[in-house]
Structure 1
């Protein structure tokens, strides 16, 4: 591949590269060994790395990570083509058709004057598409919410679908009360004899209720937890750095000092 190609590479070039990597005659042994299932973890990882670049407002990283994610699409499409299922062009055609169909106010004559109307139409189209996949039969409202989604994301999607038909709290106070109720039930599972199954059940209910609370507060629960994870990681890193500067290590014996340094790290962020 010459320098001029590097400066003007196209999707066709990427398709050709993947075809060469998957060529049984001289291709890459690692790429040839892969299947949809073995590549799946990489696909998910690349999607999260795109999210991380966005969260960090790093456009250079975003450019690179979008390329890595695009490679995953081309990789899956190539494997599908090899087994005669579909080709990349059909993938592109499918999403083009879907976007045109779901935007009749842009590509047609429908009158959808505000974002709420657009969203309602989008959901109607999705419902019709789900029904079409089942030969026109009525399908449950929760059908199509992928089980592979992160649990917090899936919980919010399930709740939003239920809310569309009125199965939701009328006011946020009820959600706060539900969270407290579930927290109390978690505490009850600590009583003897311990039932690990009950604890899993109650913790699940508590987390589900917390997602509901986040939704009612207009907060993306998955994003909020990702942010909290980064904040914890950053603050604990400050604790470690402060201890290492004094020739110390994090340990149970340093618990009080770690608590002090944690409070200091929180104060410095304010």
Structure 2
């Protein structure tokens, strides 16, 4: 292994002591707290998902103090899972940490081996190839590592990233945009009808899915995270709508009895204030 140079960390002992303190507290809670004693891998699962979304919210809001707190919650969950697993004699926190360290060394041969990688894309391609090799015959598909339970938008991103990792991708963003326009025209031609006739919902759903997939692909090419972009738009809409509710109430109006034109007036004001 080549010699790796890193800057000395004057706070390394403080960090190790803090982690040791967390492990000690986890042991104490697991052995003495009625709630902590009852928890299982399954009961913690939905709480971990909730904490992950809370971390995501804090990151989008750029609230670093909240990011710190939510990272702490997730760190607790990691330690909790490892503690439960150790009781089952399956693994402990040392196995978890050594496992991820081994994986990082294995998947960074340009740092810990003799592979050349001078740009981000080459690193990603090597990563996916190594992952595929690690799976062996268990799940040889490049897409096998994409969790089935991921939200559809995030799953589309991961599918596209993994396909690109082995070279299956468009060459230029202009090609991707042409695909977006093609999918848009197909959808518009078939379902943007003036007549009030029923449409084939199943076919419309398929075409709309193709359109979304192509838009997500284009976002990737111009380095936009579509999940984050959509969530920022969600938050913007919520703030403006709540402004509409709040300001109309100040004027003695009930939002349920207002016309669309009246609501639009407050909406335009919200765009200036928020």
Fold match, TM over 0.5?
yes
> Tell me, what secondary structure is at the counterpart of 1:143?
helix
Match of 1:151 in 2: 152
Could you tell me whether the CA contact under 8 Å between 1:186 and 1:203 is conserved in 2? no
- Cα deviation code 1:9-60 (max 9, x no counterpart): 522222222222222xxx3232233222221121122122222222222221
Q: Distance in 1 between matches of 2:247 and 2:225?
A: 33
Q: Distance in 1 between matches of 2:161 and 2:190?
A: 25
Question: Superposed, which structure 2 residues align to 1:1-270 within 5 Å?
Answer: 10-23=18-31, 27-131=32-136, 134=138, 139-163=140-164, 164-166=166-168, 168=170, 171=175, 172-182=177-187, 184-185=189-190, 187=192, 197=202, 200-268=205-273
**TM-score, normalised by the number of residues in structure 1:** 0.82
Q: Distance in 2 between matches of 1:186 and 1:139?
A: 39
Could you tell me whether the CA contact under 8 Å between 1:179 and 1:209 is conserved in 2? no
Once the 2 structures are TM-superposed, how far is the Cα of residue 235 of structure 1 from its aligned partner?
A: 0.9
Q: Distance in 2 between matches of 1:94 and 1:241?
A: 52
Could you tell me whether the CA contact under 8 Å between 2:244 and 2:263 is conserved in 1? yes
- Unmatched segments (≥5 aa) in structure 1: 1-6
Q: Distance in 2 between matches of 1:11 and 1:182?
A: 54
Match of 1:4 in 2: none
Q: Distance in 1 between matches of 2:202 and 2:34?
A: 45
Q: Distance in 2 between matches of 1:169 and 1:256?
A: 46
- Cα deviation code 1:70-105 (max 9, x no counterpart): 011111111111112111110000111111112222
Distance 1:160 1:111, change over 3 A: closer
Aligned Cα RMSD in Å?
2.9
- Unmatched segments (≥5 aa) in structure 2: 1-14
Once the 2 structures are TM-superposed, how far is the Cα of residue 176 of structure 1 from its aligned partner?
A: 2.4
Runs of 4+ in 1 over 6 A off after TM superposition: none
